[in-house]
Chains A and B, each alone.
Chain A
C-alpha cells in the first residue's frame, strides 16, 4: 500500500526562507520523521492565518500533503508558541543557537526521537534558566551524543590511558580528551581545566536535574564556550552562524548579567 497522501506530524520550526511569491520554505524538526523541509504556500498573504502558527521556535501540529517537490503544509495549529523565548533577546539568541545546532546535526527524514525530546526540554529550560549558557552547553553535548558524535571525556584518545584528575588536552580533531603528553602531539589541542572537565562530564551524562543546579563561575563558562567553539566545527564542518549573534547580544548585556 502506498503511503497516504496526507500525513500529520508535530514539529518545531527551526528556520524559514522565502519560497515563491508568498510562501515560506520551512525547516522543521519532528519527533518521528526527523528533519523535514516543507513549504507553507501563500502563508505571507494577508488573508492567510498560518504565519503565526509556523513561526520559528513554535511547536505546532501540522497537516502535510505529499508533493512531487517539497511537501506542502495544508494546516497548522500552534501547540506551544514558546513566546517567552521570543520576547527576550538573551533567551531568543540562545534558542536560535540551539535550533541551528539541531539543523546542522540532524539529517532529513532520519528519525531521532531522543534528540527531539532533548530539544523540547532545553527550550523549556531556556525559558526559566537564570544562567542561560548552561542549557546550551548541555544541549551541545547531549545532541552530539544523540547524533552519534559523543566526545570522549574519560580516556586519552591517543594512548588509551584513563585520565588523571589534572588539566588535560581537549581536541576537536581527535574527538575528545587527550592526556597531557599526547596532547603535545596535537597542534590544535586545547588545555581543559579540572573544573571544566567535571562540568563537561556532568552535562554529557544528561542528568538534567543536576545540570539545572549548576552555577558556573564566569571563567569556567568562558572556558567551556571556547572549547565548544573549537570542537563543534569538527562535526558540523562550519562554524555555527548564530554564534556570532549570540556574542553580539552578550556584549549588550548590562554588566552583572
Chain B
C-alpha cells in the first residue's frame, strides 16, 4: 500500500533547493515554497531572474576580491583613495559596513571567511594568497586587520600578522572595546580588559 507523499515533483524539488540555503530548514523551505505558489506569476519570475542575473553578472574583483560587476571594482579603480593602506575584512558585508562609516580612505581586501580550524577552513580556503600577491609590488605600508574580535577573527589576524610583518609592512588591528551605548555592568571581561588596554587620552 503506497502512502500519499503529498508533494508533487516540481514542488518537492523547489523545497529541496530552498532548504539548501543557510538558515532555511525543511519547515521554512516548505513555507517559502507554498508562499511562492500563491504569489503572482511575475513576482516568482522576477525572483528567479534576479537570482540568475546576480550570478551571471557578479564576479570577484581581481584585486580586492570584493563582489562587483566590473573587475577591478570601482573602489580599487578610485585614484582618490590611499593605496598605501589595505583594510582586510572577512566578508563583503563587512566592507560595506566600514564604507558606511566613511572615515577610511584606503583600499580593502576581502578574505571571504575567517580561519576556522574545526570547520576545516584554513588560510588556503581564504583569499590569502591574493592578498600576499598585492604586497609584492611594494607601495603598501599598512595592513589593517578588521576581522571580528572572535576566536576565529583573532586567529586570522594573528596568522596574517605572522605572514606579513616579516615583509616590513605595518600590521594593525582595529580597536576593540566597548560599543557605543554599552553597559559596563554587562560587558564581558575580555572586552573590558581590552577597552582598558586601549585607553586614549581625553581631548576636549
List residues of chain A with CB under 8 Å of any chain B CB.
Answer: 14-15, 18-21, 46-47, 49, 51-53, 55-57, 78, 81, 83, 86-89, 92-93, 96-97, 99-100, 103, 241-242, 244-246, 248-249, 252
Contacts and interface: CB of A to CB of B under 8 A. Distances in A.
Main secondary structure of the interface of B (DSSP, over half): helix
A248 B150 contact: no
Interface in B106-150: 115, 117-120, 122-123, 150
A78 B179 CA distance: 19
A89 B162 CA distance: 9
Contact of A241 (B117, B150, B182, B183): B117
Contacts of B189: 52, 78, 81, 83
**What's the interface size class on B, roughly?**
20 to 34
A92 B20 CA distance: 32
Contact of B117 (A49, A86, A93, A252): A93
Nearest to A77: B188
Interface stretch (B1-9, B73-81, B151-159): B151-159
B167 interface: no
24 contacts: A18-B22, A18-B23, A19-B23, A21-B23, A46-B179, A49-B182, A51-B188, A52-B189, A52-B190, A52-B191, A56-B150, A57-B151, A78-B189, A78-B190, A83-B193, A89-B155, A89-B158, A89-B162, A92-B154, A92-B155, A96-B118, A103-B118, A241-B120, A244-B122
Contacts of A51: 150, 188
Contact of B188 (A49, A96, A245): A49
| Pairs A-B, 10 closest by C-beta atoms | A52-B188, A242-B117, A245-B117, A241-B120, A49-B186, A56-B151, A89-B158, A252-B162, A100-B118, A81-B190
A248 B23 contact: no
A15 B190 contact: no
B174 to A, nearest CB: 15
Interface of B: 22-23, 115, 117-120, 122-123, 150-152, 154-155, 158-159, 162-163, 179, 181-183, 186-191, 193
A20 B23 contact: yes
Nearest to B22: A18
Contacts of B119: 15, 241
B190 A246 contact: no
B112 to A, nearest CB: 15
Contacts of A241: 117-120
B96 to A, nearest CB: 16
Contacts of A244: 117, 120, 122
